Structure 1
Amino acid sequence: MKRGLLHHVEINVSDLAQSIQFWRWLLEELGYSVYQKWDTGQSWKIADTYLVFVQADKKFIADGFHRRRVGLNHLAFYGESKKQIDEITEKIVAKGIPILYEDKHPYAGGPSHYAVFFEDPDRIKVEVVASVE
């Protein structure tokens, strides 16, 4: 039974090409594969769940996104292990993406929560947390 499982999440983005470039490496690292592509969007799927990124209409871009407003705060993904979190962290740093809560990394979520936190090009917070080992 699939009742209650997440089917998909759709996110409007300010620059589709930039978002695709950002999300591609991370989602593929986590086991997602490209699911759909069209002129104004692209999605990646893992099992029965998929993430959709759609180019926002220009009239809605001006105010931008902020996770502390009403709406989405962040997306959190399971990673395979602490080792994978470390590998993802190295890739993030190599790409010049700032690590959030760097002074507490990799335990910014608490002493038993091994994760990396960062932001996508629209400043949506992303978290990848190690599965229990």
Structure 2
Amino acid sequence: MESITSHDLLYVKLEDLIHLNDIPDWFDEKNDWDWVVVRRASLSDETIPVGVRGNERNKRHSCFVKESVINQVVRPTQLIKNEFLEGISMYRQQSFKIFQSFDLLKRLLKDYVWGIGGSLAYELVSKEPTVKK
């Protein structure tokens, strides 16, 4: 596996996460498997700092995961491929300016290496509606 870096999205079984803080109540609403994002913190050989998103902006939980339990890795640079738009409703793509800007950026920056982060990245990979107006 290539080295994991900040902003990569990891598909993991949530029971494999290592919690150093109290687990928030909303955490129980999550599925067994979910996408987590690699946080900007020191990486060790054994654990990777990640963040779990709840269904609201104020619902975030920091924890760690071992590389050996990661099922899939998606890098921000991979998210510019059209395949990640599959499963996002046309209504959302047309209603939220970020999707329109994303489409324009893909055309303008086609000769450059770049990627997507934040709520757009999470929605593209998870198909959960996280982008807000």
- Please classify the TM superposition score into its range, dividing by the shorter chain length: 0.3 to 0.5
Structure with a larger share of its residues in helix: 2
- TM-score scaled by structure 2? 0.33
- TM-score scaled by structure 1? 0.33
Structure with a larger share of its residues in strand: 1
